């Protein structure tokens, strides 16, 4: 009976571990905030579902507010379809979300300097329970800055330089160590040959021979 219980507990534990490994993990990663004129820019918006076992109706709205201007709706995704609103970005917005609608990102194609401003991602979920519906909302704001040319970050440039210096130092150190080891091995071989030659001399002639001693 005890063996049967232990076997059942082991199987249950394995099943729980398999379920845990198979469950998709949602990580809310912040979006990039810098773009270069003429290139595409993905505005990341990840809104993880807290109750994946509950059926949910998800509506996503993207708003844009230029510097010193008013906020307006530029894109809406609902019922499995996306629709652009009239704006300066109309025709340049591409849906980049996932099937489970936890990643609801969009991509701005061929960004311009005039696209700088605040983007707001609004996610509304209607969770359907047996007795009632529960509404959950989340907002993520992204302050985008578009530049004419791509300027490298000073920190990244410095890190790259330090990496090359470190690689050069390690290469020189490795060569020195190889040379040192080679000299030690060569001296050891010479000493070994001298001892072997000495032992090969008849005993009556050893008094007139001297073996070089390495200090």
Look at residues 41, 33, 45 and name the one whose alpha carbon lies nearest to residue 112: 41
Co-location of 193 and 106 in the same domain: no
Co-location of 147 and 41 in the same domain: yes
* Residue 145: CATH number of its domain: 2.60.40.10
Q: What is the pLDDT along the chain (215 residues), one digit of tens a residue?
A: 444 344 434 444 444 334 333 445 678 888 889 999 999 999 999 998 876 667 889 999 999 999 889 999 999 999 999 999 999 999 999 999 999 899 999 999 999 999 999 999 999 999 888 888 889 999 999 999 999 876 556 677 778 888 889 889 899 989 988 988 888 888 777 777 666 665 666 665 555 555 555 54
d(CA 140, CA 125): 15
Q: Give the number of domains in the chain.
A: 2
Residues 93, 95, 97: CA angle, nearest 5 degrees: 150
Co-location of 146 and 171 in the same domain: no
pLDDT digits (tens, 9 = 90+) for 105-151: 999 999 999 999 999 999 999 988 888 888 999 999 999 999 987 65
Co-location of 93 and 39 in the same domain: yes
d(CA 169, CA 73): 55
Domain that holds residue 71: 25-151
């Amino acid at each position: 009976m005890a063996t049967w219980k232990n076997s059942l507990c082991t199987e249950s534990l394995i099943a729980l571990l398999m379920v845990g490994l198979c469950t998709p993990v949602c990580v809310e990663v912040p979006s990039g905030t810098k773009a270069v004129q003429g290139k595409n820019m993905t505005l990341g918006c990840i809104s993880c579902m807290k109750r994946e076992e509950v059926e949910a109706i998800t509506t996503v709205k993207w708003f844009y507010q230029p510097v010193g201007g008013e906020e307006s709706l530029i894109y809406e995704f609902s019922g499995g379809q996306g629709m652009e609103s009239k704006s300066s970005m109309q025709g340049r917005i591409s849906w980049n979300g996932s099937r489970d609608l936890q990643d609801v990102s969009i991509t701005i194609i061929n960004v311009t300097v005039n696209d700088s401003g605040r983007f707001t991602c609004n996610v509304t979920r209607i969770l359907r329970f047996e007795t009632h519906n529960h509404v959950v909302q989340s907002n993520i704001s992204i302050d985008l800055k578009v530049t004419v040319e791509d300027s490298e970050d000073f920190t990244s440039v410095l890190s790259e330089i330090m990496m090359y210096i470190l690689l050069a130092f390690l290469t020189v150190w490795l060569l020195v160590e190889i040379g040192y080891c080679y000299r030690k091995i060569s001296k050891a071989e010479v000493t070994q040959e001298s001892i072997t030659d000495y032992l090969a001399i008849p005993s009556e002639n050893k008094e007139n021979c001297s073996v070089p001693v390495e200090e």
